[in-house]
Amino acid sequence: MSIRDTQREAGIERLAGHLLEHGLARTSLRQLAAAAGVSDRMLLYYFADKAEVLAAVMARVAGELSLRLAEAIPDGAPLRPAELVRRAAEFTTGPEMRRFMRLWVEVVAAAARGEAPFPAIVVQVMAGFRQWVDARLDLPAGADREGTAAAIIAVIDGLALVDICSEDEIAPRMAAALSGLLAD
């Protein structure tokens, strides 16, 4: 592997941490370069342009998210929707996963604004979510699997969104209350 590729990989690694820590707040080229520990000139030597930097870093983050989701709830034993929501909610509102969900909400908003490369990233990550839910969902034949999967994702994402803009520690109470709202 050339120096260029090595540095590229190292940059992606450092920038993944940077994005998870700061969200999309400090993502100008010079700020990204500083976070990656290189000059902005070199960042654009390792990557074609800013969009490619963000795409590569987000791909890394999405991969890690996907890995953790897969680990958290195995896909061997399908769960009834309510139980799946409960367990997913517990996991994603946990201290370690919150920064992923925070970043996810920001990415969705950036995609809504049409900012490259976020629309493409959102489609990809969203497909991953759908697939994850689908593989763990125990649903009677004839039920709307796609609609149900979307609803489950919506509930999980909604928890993250409210969590973001609540100063107090409402997340656990919110998750508990949600659990009570669900039919078994």
List the interface residues with a second copy, window 57-116 (CB under 8 A).
Answer: 81-82, 85, 102, 105-106, 108-114
Instruction: Give the whole-angstrom CA distance, residue 34 versus residue 156.
Output: 34
List the interface residues with a second copy, window 122-151 (CB under 8 A).
Answer: 122-123, 126, 143-144, 146-148, 150-151
Q: Which does 30 bind (CB under 5 to 8 A by kind): DNA, a second copy, none?
A: DNA
Residue with tokens 């500083």: 34
Instruction: Give the whole-angstrom CA distance, residue 50 versus residue 1.
Output: 23
Q: Which does 133 bind (CB under 5 to 8 A by kind): DNA, a second copy, none?
A: none
4 binds DNA (CB under 7 A): yes
Which residues, 6+ apart, have CB-to-CB distance to 142 below 8 Å? Answer: none
Run of H or E including 43: helix 40-46
113 binds DNA (CB under 7 A): no
156 binds a second copy (CB under 8 A): yes
User: 48 — phi, psi (to 5°)?
Assistant: -65, -45
Work out how close the CB of 53 gets to DNA at its nearest, in angstroms, rounded to a whole number. Answer: 8
2 binds DNA (CB under 7 A): yes
Residue with tokens 């890995």: 67
25 binds DNA (CB under 7 A): no
End-to-end CA distance of the chain: 53
70 binds DNA (CB under 7 A): no
Nearer residue to a second copy within complex by CB, 36 or 85: 85
